[in-house]
Structure 1
Amino acid sequence: MENNNDERFSPIKSLLGLLSFSTIIPVKQYTSIEYMTRLVWCWPFIHLIVGILAAVCGIICADVLHLNPFFTSVIIYAFLMLITGYNHLDGVMDMADGVMVQGDPQRKISVMKDSSVGAGGVATLFLVAVLTIAGIYSVLDYECIAGIIICEMVAKSSLLTTSLLSTPSNNGIGCYFIYSTNIFNYILSTVIVAVIAYLVGDIIGIIGLVGAVVAGALIAFIAKRNFIIANGDVLGMSNEVGRLMALLFMSVALFFL
């Protein structure tokens, strides 16, 4: 993002900046990272749109192309990864490598920041991807297409939960998101997300949000225990695990409800 000292804050430019930052949608709008992250609490609402597009992709695969639920689930996951530019996958691998290595926080952070990827990172990414596809398959098996919309939206609520509960590093893009997340905008964002989730998926939507918040808190705890601080890699892990946990919680709820 371009940083222009003479730039004035614009909510529209901030939202478009978040959209450009987290997707490959060709938005020709740039703003500074400081101004962009002022509205970080709106991030779930941007990914509500991404979730709707993923649900449309699933409907086309299932009802138009008549693909089986497994093939449809794989395509939906691939669509989500493509449209988000594989934005958080490196975070999954990097954080996993840092957690797996033995040593003090400085040692773990250095491994997390290393450009090379270890076996732990590759294996963790594989598990997260496979389990997410299984989760998509599960909600589709219950004919809950709304679950696709909800899981993508609340993945960002997971990221915000981690941001709220974490101590930022001294550098990197991730610190801007953490600094910009406070208890007031977090509660506002979560309440609005809860209302949307309920309108889209009834009580199942609320349960999906709970799963994402639990995931965000868990990732924040793991990061604090291993690294003390959190960075963009930790937030990336939170996003992907948040989507997975939302699908898991919704799948269990769909069985019992």
Structure 2
Amino acid sequence: MQAFLIGLQFLTRICVVKQTVWTEEDFGKSVRFFPLIGAVLGCIYSVVAMMLLWFLPSFGIFIPHHLTHVLFVAMPIILTGGIHCDGFMDTVDGIFSGRDRERMLEIMKDSCTGAFGVVAFVLLMMFQYGAVSDVPMEDLPVALFVMPIISRMMMVFTITVYPYARKEGMGKAFSEYTNKKTLGVVFLYGLALVLPWGANALIAVLVSLLFTMCFCNYVTKKIGGVTGDVYGAVCTLCELLVMIAFTCKIPF
């Protein structure tokens, strides 16, 4: 339970019990709860969506759809404190800098965000808004529920399968206390949470998994592994892919 609360406090702005002392073991073991933490976020996103799209309109209260879509895009940033977005921007700055391995790692560790990262993040948000806008209204609560679960399943996949590129770092604890058994358990209960929601959810899992493998293979060739920033990039990009998957109409 402590590991779950530590993971919840680290990955989100939800603080049930304030944890001030984190051991490396507790921090690392929180990985097994990442999709469950995603489910907590997904419940919040889904409830907000149902209130804005169905509950309030039943009382004659209509929020402009552009504003609701902006809120749906902003919620993951607000509730996570932008931690994954920061990782995404740092990854883009480093990996696409065209420098050698050591310099890439230095750039990714730099607290300042470069032009590549800013431009990439703006484009990411534009694509995310477009995807949210194109998801059928009746499917949005489901899409918003499974989105953080699937994206965090892919984080666990990245942590387990790919080596950590640095000798030390915050993400190294995740890597050291995660194994294939953890990955199996995570995918087992993650899929149990996701697959009942239909064909779009299955497609979202498969597309996200394929992308994660291709992206992490590319990054590993560049820097010899992955980092905590790459974990965040995988999470953020898979959230976009999940929303895109729900824009598709499946005839079964």
TM superposition score normalised by structure 2:
0.89
Identify which range, 171-180 or 59-68, moves more after superposition: 59-68
TM superposition shift of 1:255: 5.0
Equivalent-residue separation in structure 2 for 1:135 and 1:18 (angstroms): 28
Letter in 2 for 1:151: M
Equivalent-residue separation in structure 2 for 1:28 and 1:240 (angstroms): 26
- When residues 198 and 32 of structure 1 are mapped into structure 2, their CA distance, relative to the original with a 3 A threshold, is same
1:217 aligns with 2:188: no
Alignment of 1:88-237 (within 5 A): 88-141=84-137, 143-168=139-164, 169-199=166-196, 201-237=197-233
Which of structures 1 and 2 has the larger relative contact order (alpha carbons within 8 angstroms, sep 6+)?
2
- 8 Å contact from structure 2 (residues 47, 141) kept in 1: no
Question: % of aligned pairs identical?
Answer: 20
* Cα displacement string for residues 173-202 of structure 1 (whole angstroms, at most 9, x for unaligned residues): 111112233222112211221121122x12
SS class of match (1:212): helix
TM superposition score normalised by structure 1:
0.88
- 1:6 is matched with none
- 8 Å contact from structure 1 (residues 210, 246) kept in 2: no
- 8 Å contact from structure 1 (residues 98, 108) kept in 2: yes
Equivalent-residue separation in structure 1 for 2:123 and 2:116 (angstroms): 10
1:40 aligns with 2:36: no
Unaligned stretches of 5+ in structure 2?
none
- 2:6 is matched with 17
Letter in 2 for 1:57: V
Identify which range, 60-69 or 150-159, moves more after superposition: 60-69
- 1:54 is matched with 45
Unaligned stretches of 5+ in structure 1?
1-11
Equivalent-residue separation in structure 1 for 2:63 and 2:217 (angstroms): 40
Equivalent-residue separation in structure 2 for 1:140 and 1:178 (angstroms): 38
Equivalent-residue separation in structure 2 for 1:227 and 1:43 (angstroms): 25
RMSD (Å) for aligned C-alpha atoms: 1.8
Equivalent-residue separation in structure 2 for 1:140 and 1:18 (angstroms): 32
* Cα displacement string for residues 38-71 of structure 1 (whole angstroms, at most 9, x for unaligned residues): 1412211111111110111122222314224332
* Cα displacement string for residues 18-44 of structure 1 (whole angstroms, at most 9, x for unaligned residues): 111111112224232321321412211
Equivalent-residue separation in structure 1 for 2:169 and 2:251 (angstroms): 43
Letter in 1 for 2:100: D
Size of the aligned set, in residue pairs, is 244
- 1:28 is matched with 17
Letter in 1 for 2:9: S
Equivalent-residue separation in structure 2 for 1:159 and 1:87 (angstroms): 13
